[in-house]
Structure 1
Amino acid sequence: MATAQLSAIDKTVDKTNTLLREIEQEFGWPAHRRQQSYAALAAVLHALRDRLPLAEVVQLGAQFPTLVRGLYYEGWDPATTPAKLDRAGFVARVRRNFQYDVEGGAEQVVVTVSQVLRRHVSAGEWRDVQATLSADLRGLIAA
């Protein structure tokens, strides 16, 4: 039993590190910028979570590894979901929560992180997420 639990912990850590490594690779960051990739993932996940309708928040969250799911739900208040965010508001929210300077700014953070997330979510679920977004946001979030 203890071995199976450890395996589950190892698995979620590995999957989370894979996501973070992919973000770093997309930006061309070295691995020692892990805190920065984590902050980028958190900022985009929280903005997306707050923008989606409640049912879609839960369905998307179910697709993430346990560790990422915890990050996704951290600080969430379902009573405020969905927030009315257009493209500019979404990018501004990411910028507020991502305190690093990167080439392309917060908009590039959204594009890059959403591209990585897209590879780790089922095609059907990603289409569902896209369907809930306004046209201006769909143009920002990886299709």
Structure 2
Amino acid sequence: MAETGFSSFNTTTDKTNRILKEIEQAYGWPKERRNMSYAALRAVLHALRDRLTVEEAAQLGAQLPMLVRGIYYEGWDPSRVPMKMRRDEFLERVQREFRFRVEGGAESLVQTVLAAMRDHITEGEWNDIKSGVSRDLASVLP
């Protein structure tokens, strides 16, 4: 764990590193490819955030570890959401932001990233998210 001198910073750094490591392990990426797991996390979180209503995006953001929350909100313009995206548009958005190739494509990437995030989000929040998107897009979410 990286020592920052502040326990809350140490905790969020540790949680973020565990999320990134879980993504890396799912794809067999070495730690040296941390930029890929970060890019995957960022692309999926931004696409999901922009698909949600402002209220739902804020409720999800409140549950994220502090460092991940910063990644999530980076560049967010609440006046431009929700962006209506069906499954294929959502996956295209993720692939556009994640410029690497992965086995299983963007759908696998979304499922892997969200599975890594699952321990940080309550069951109720996941249900709210899934009920707030189209049925075809909800089928991609774990």
Report the TM-score, using the length of structure 1 for normalisation.
Answer: 0.93
Q: Distance in 1 between matches of 2:24 and 2:123?
A: 23
Which residue matches 2:132? 132
Count of aligned positions = 139
Which residue matches 2:108? 108
Q: Distance in 2 between matches of 1:17 and 1:64?
A: 13
Alpha-carbon offset, residue 124 of structure 1: 1.1
Which residue matches 1:64? 64
Report the TM-score, using the length of structure 2 for normalisation.
Answer: 0.93
User: What amino acid is aligned across from residue 124 of structure 1 in structure 2?
Assistant: G
User: What amino acid is aligned across from residue 137 of structure 2 in structure 1?
Assistant: L
Which residue matches 2:40? 40
| Deviating more after overlay: 61-70 vs 100-109 | 100-109
Q: Which runs of 4+ in 1 moved over 4 A?
A: none
Q: Distance in 2 between matches of 1:109 and 1:119?
A: 17
Q: Are 1:26 and 2:26 an aligned pair?
A: yes
Question: What is the CA deviation profile of residues 110-133 of structure 1, one whole-angstrom value per residue up to 9, with x for unaligned ones?
Answer: 111112222321111111111111
Identity %: 54
Question: What is the CA deviation profile of residues 64-116 of structure 1, one whole-angstrom value per residue up to 9, with x for unaligned ones?
Answer: 11110000000000011100100011001001100111111122111111122
Question: What is the CA deviation profile of residues 34-89 of structure 1, one whole-angstrom value per residue up to 9, with x for unaligned ones?
Answer: 11000000000000000011110000000111110000000000011100100011
User: What amino acid is aligned across from residue 96 of structure 1 in structure 2?
Assistant: R
Equivalent pair of 2:65/2:120 in contact (CA under 8 Å) = no
Unaligned runs of 5+ in 2: none
Q: Distance in 2 between matches of 1:90 and 1:17?
A: 26
User: What amino acid is aligned across from residue 141 of structure 1 in structure 2?
Assistant: L
Q: Distance in 1 between matches of 2:88 and 2:73?
A: 23
Which residue matches 2:90? 90
Unaligned runs of 5+ in 1: none
Which residue matches 1:120? 120
Which residue matches 1:99? 99
